Structure 1
């Protein structure tokens, strides 16, 4: 009866037909009062705060409405708040909420999702359920992580491991919906690739989603290794196929019967689509036959049900047969066999399964031919571009620049943001989408002083080579994609941030303001200091004071990244007096600092030196590493002293993590100048799940947390791990670092070589060019040899003719012998 209820629930979820409000929208339009009422009730809510509507937002709202009914089955309220009518503080006033949806749980914000990750019904449902089921569904990266989970689950709980190519897909949704129903019974595990596939015997280049059932509750006598035996689901991954598979895994391994197979009923619900295999046993070999049947049953797991038939007067099958089988589509027909080995049974069902797969492959042959190169693509970016090759980009929001109109277009705009790209470059095409999103976002906000433009360097090579002849000069474009911010009569500025729409948008918005901004009143100064980003304020007695030119040059270099201001005359003297500093001075206000007192810097003789001092002050003493800021920290050239902390389950865990981070700050303070060679930082594996892969790749397996690692040493590629059995205490960490410096510590791992060979041979363009050069050289040498042979033949012919003329006794035969 339980299986029937579960099946009905899953069918309702997939068909969306179990709601009474079939013809009504389940997307709730909340007022501010309604929102706070539901929030305080502690219910699960997935909410979007609508501020402005663009084509992208409109499409999202359509998908959000479609997902409302499905999520309602999982007790998740789905709705939106129109911020133009109802003001919800924090969310309606935060610009980031424009492209973010929020999940609330227990009366507070639980998680937020960028709209890029929840773009359709499948991604919305899968991501929301994935967030809710974080305890029921674990995401593993390495085989060591999986082994640890297997050991913990042994004799306690079976596990269901699902491999999906990417999150947010139909397969991911099927896993999450099934986990919602069976999460209390099985431990669900999710992977998207990596070394775990190798343990499961799957090629990592496989594009088919798969599911494995790990039998961790079986008796230890069946386990021949420390790993749990597993069974692979052979049907394509869907919610219903996964439900049927889990039912089959609950079936008895071997059923013992005493009747003839012809009199045994075909399998009943829920196994009615599963073949039956009968093995015959005689009283003399009863125990041996049971062992044989058990061995075969494990090999047939997921393919067929095995029944051991004990011969008795009720069994009429002749003794010459030792096996039989019944297929589901043949109703009660039983076929009898005389087997000589168990492999014959396996061949029977695996052959049948292969025929079904071949039929499916024949049906999709055309699609397979179209995507034949898909598995040969370099990386996820290239694969994404390949998948979207049929979706033409809407270029209406950007200006396409050429050699003819580039300088004219720049002259007509106060700020031109130009993307230089190549159509055949995967990263260029992927970023082009983000670039267009930024252009549309600027248009939605009515930002009319920025011209977003693109240059196809495959077509306009002379422009990308920066040929002279215009008012704007820049270095030749040698890396793609490249973004330049161009102004009239000014040097072009490179954008060196993350290739994401959010980062580029904020860089452009900050680049619109002057750098430095001239502050002339106390109100302007107060407003400047209340800004969120890093701020740098130059304080000078007069507009002609020494060092002002140095500060101005430095401020221009920081444009787009740091907000800079300039204070002079009486107001500057007042500030200098209040802060007891000598003029001229540069005041730095890092965004991470909670108090308002700035760091004071003198004005050096060069802008480069001033930039070095400013960046040193802006650097957080113990920064949190994320995917976005990691490249900028690595570019500093310092060794990374990284503290990895896990996700907290309660306030006690949060306080413990905070104490660890504070202790590492003490390490930096006590270490003084000797710590300048290191960048002490930390990664929160809950905020940045990719950190688990990083830690696993550093050490080869996941160590217990917290873990302290020293890596990216300028002197070599060694990786050192702080002893796991030692508490993270400042004095102990400093002693450990001293041992590392003295060469008394053994490395725990090594960084991989920075080698990026071509994924496949036909991508090795340098090798192809060398081969072409070699072929050309070989052809040229052959042509030279042919010419030399012709010249020799002509010379010999002339010699013979001369001999013939001077010696009449010579005849034609002498010439023909040559």
Structure 2
């Protein structure tokens, strides 16, 4: 694109074009006419006013910069140009009729109307045409008599609309008859169009011989009501005609099922002749008596009225697939991130960047992943906090794997987001903690420490165990590990050093290899080699003997030793303790358990550990004030919220039964031990049961790539493993280029357009 000096219009276009590249996988280039004069494009009347679309060195089309004003305009205009031969453009009724005659018996037609090119509705239509262009004939109009022909009464009020013309099933003998059509009664977005086309492909009328509650059709997954008509054996032919008539009038709004009463599986009272089921999980079937067809039409017109007034985002299953993370990212999409706080890496500078700094933390992400974008804000906050703390030897960087796939492939990045820490001349270290500011900051600060810390005297050992040696890090690493060996020549020293390297970022590890290590071995009744786990000045120190020959085994052993014997469960540490596969003996305490009362209850629970009688259990506690999710856990366990503190046994690993320590009994050692014995003997009835259910998505997932492959076999799969370069090369050599469907929610309903145009006159249902 020729440019001389920046202006507002050009700046907007450049920014939007960068976004468009992520969608269409195109290349964007700018030519500075001041430095390099290209006669054909750097002339005065074209300078700063024209944008050119090239393919294979040839200009496909040029655009005025004021027509490509945002991402929607760029995408829609580019696709419209690429699909120029596939998408027909009609102005008059005669032109539309000509397209219909050519399509009869061959393909259905998707007719779209937009008032102005370049709007989101135009983009949605072009993206759909790109995917379904082989299956349907797409036609575009910008208004006029064509809309009148489709039944629109007030043309000026219709900004966008779409109709499905059922021409494939029409006979060529019906030369002059128009194809029956169905109108999309939703906003013109990519997702709504996709769902609408799925409904058009569904059978007009389905038949079943089961109860309505057992009928499962695609309409239910697409959040569309189902209407059931009950057929008698002697009127089945007339019932089918009636059902088809109703189905044409309600097509795209309601799925229709004909239930055969003669089946022994159908036990519907004879007084009812119809039923319906609204979309939604757990929706009940409602039976009714209808006297004529108009009552049925009115029924669903009334049912759909409140829904029409709601936000269209609630209509299709596709709109509610995202979880809370994706929702928050979408809600905050208007807030820009301060990317100046981190270094944005490319393939050209990646290796040099990680080699220059003592520590380089890299976030590998993709822009379309909601978790990546949600974590990006926390990542930037960590960079800013390190800068405020005058930490100068750590560089935080990001790399977009959607842009630099070769780098991510070479680094074996298999999921997003991925954070790794790089040191010069060393393998990278993965970050496996929570995706939050505090956890990542702790990992980085601890990773900067030497591991293991080599201690040379008993005084240094004492200082290390008490946290005095690294006082500034005591808050982020309250638990430290010390390896004790009788000599540096001990074969286990090298294994311990390897394990200590692997534990960088998790805790502080020290090493004391000297004959005086025997002092601590005697004090804690262990044989060397051993490790001491110190829980700070106010906590206890535990000793564990070592008999492991592999670094990874030792890492696992130390990680287990770091776990508390009576932990406070949090969202962050819960997975670590669940890996122990023990029954949980959980004490739930609330905000009101403060001061001495809370301490007394917790001390009584700790006393259970000294008895040595609760080894099958993991005693732990949850503070509902600091971990609000614990309240939902407690209510799920028992079905109600008891008085606090509450003691519960959760047999997650052995059947899922839950037992509640009787309210009112003292939380003391002997009563608790007696109660646990009754639980083990089967004398205590369970208060609740944790159902072993799979954690599945709330809605069926739609694989858009497989949808594309259904329309054109191999279309998406043959591109999935290709690099961006190969896609661009194909785009230059083929007639059509690739793109991704994007959805933008909107609110619209075609005014005055009839939902369907039935192919025949109405018939009455025999039971009506």
- Give me the TM-score of the superposition, normalised by structure 1: 0.44
Higher relative contact order (CA 8 A, sep 6+): 2
